[in-house]
C-alpha cells in the first residue's frame, strides 16, 4: 500500500499542464516512452485485440495516443485501433463503443476540470451504452481520482463501474524504477487497486524525463 500511495503521489505531481523543467519536445519524448509501454501492456499483458482511444485535443495527449498505438499495433495487422478526439464533453454522445477495450487518455495541456468533464461524460456514455468491454484509465485520470469523483456525482456511472471487473490503469514507481500495471475496481464510491498484473522497467532516459517532469 505504501508503494502504491507513493506511485500516486509521484504522478499526482505530474498533473500540472507540464513539468517546469521539460521542453515541449521533451514532453513529447516522455510520452513516447510512456505510451509505448502502455501500448505493449494493452497488447501483451492484457491481450486486447482491439482498442478505442478517447483523448482530448491537446498536442501532448496526441503524442501519447500515437505512442500507445506504436506499442499496441502489430506488424501483421492482427490488432485494431481507433482514436476519437473530443473537443468538448458533449461530443462523446456520438461515440458508439464496439471494440474490445476503451482507453481514456485525458491529460496534456488541458486543465484538470476539462479532463474531469471528459472523463465523466465518457464514463456516462459507456454506462448508457452498457458497454461490456474493458476500460483502461490513463494515470492522469486515475491518480487525481477523477473516476472516484465521477461515481460520487453520478449514480448511473457508480452502478455501472461497480459491476465491472475489467478495469485497468498504470502507475509509476520511481523508487524501484518501474511502471506498474494494475487491475482496479470502483465500488462503494471509492476507486482502489485489486492486483498487480506486471511491471515495465524504466530505462535511464525515460527515468530522467520522469524525474525532471515532477
At 214, is the pLDDT very low, low, confident or very high (cuts 50, 70, 90)? confident
**Length, in residues, of the chain:** 214
57-83 pLDDT per residue, tens = 999 999 999 999 999 999 999 999 999
Domain CATH for 9: 3.40.50.2300
Question: In the structure, what pLDDT confidence band is assigned to residue 213 with cuts at 50, 70 and 90?
Answer: confident
Please say whether the beta carbons of 135 and 182 come within 8 A. Answer: no
Which residue is listed with cell 524501484?
176
- pTM exceeding the 0.95 threshold for the entire prediction: no
Q: Stretch 47-62: mean pLDDT, rounded?
A: 97
Per-residue model confidence (pLDDT) at position 209: 96
Give the separation between CA 199 and CA 214, rounded to whole angstroms: 21
Query: What CA–CA distance (Å, rounded) separates 51 from 38?
Result: 12
At which residue does the C-alpha cell 495541456 appear? 109
- For the segment 156-163, the average pLDDT, to the nearest whole number, is 98
How many domains are there within the chain? 1
Per residue in 85-119, pLDDT tens?
A: 999 999 999 999 999 999 999 999 999 999 999 99
Residue 10: its pLDDT value, please? 40
pLDDT range class, residue 20, cuts 50, 70, 90: low
Question: Does 141 score more than 60 pLDDT?
Answer: yes
> What is the grid cell recorded at 154?
453520478
Cell of 113: 476540470
Contact 46, 168 (CB under 8 A): yes
Structural domain span for residue 122 = 2-213
Amino acid at each position: 500500500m505504501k508503494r502504491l500511495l507513493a506511485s500516486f503521489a509521484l504522478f499526482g505531481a505530474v498533473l500540472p499542464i507540464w513539468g517546469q523543467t521539460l521542453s515541449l519536445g521533451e514532453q513529447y519524448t516522455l510520452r513516447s516512452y510512456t505510451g509505448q509501454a502502455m501500448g505493449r501492456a494493452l497488447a501483451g499483458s492484457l491481450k486486447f485485440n482491439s482498442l478505442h482511444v478517447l483523448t482530448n485535443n491537446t498536442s501532448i495527449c496526441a503524442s501519447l495516443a500515437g505512442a500507445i498505438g506504436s506499442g499496441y499495433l502489430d506488424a501483421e495487422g492482427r490488432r485494431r485501433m481507433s482514436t476519437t478526439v473530443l473537443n468538448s464533453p458533449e461530443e462523446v454522445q456520438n461515440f458508439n463503443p464496439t471494440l474490445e477495450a476503451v482507453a481514456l487518455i485525458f491529460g496534456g495541456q488541458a486543465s484538470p476540470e476539462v479532463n474531469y468533464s471528459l472523463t465523466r461524460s465518457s464514463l456516462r456514455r459507456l454506462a448508457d451504452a452498457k458497454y461490456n468491454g474493458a476500460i483502461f484509465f490513463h494515470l492522469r485520470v486515475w491518480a487525481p481520482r477523477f473516476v472516484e469523483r465521477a461515481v460520487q456525482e453520478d449514480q448511473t456511472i457508480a452502478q455501472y463501474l461497480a459491476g465491472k471487473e475489467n478495469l485497468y490503469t498504470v502507475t509509476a514507481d520511481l523508487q524501484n524504477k518501474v511502471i506498474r500495471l494494475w487491475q482496479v475496481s470502483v465500488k462503494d464510491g471509492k476507486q482502489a487497486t485489486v492486483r498487480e498484473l506486471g511491471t515495465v522497467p524504466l530505462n535511464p532516459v525515460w527515468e530522467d524525463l520522469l524525474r525532471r517532469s515532477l
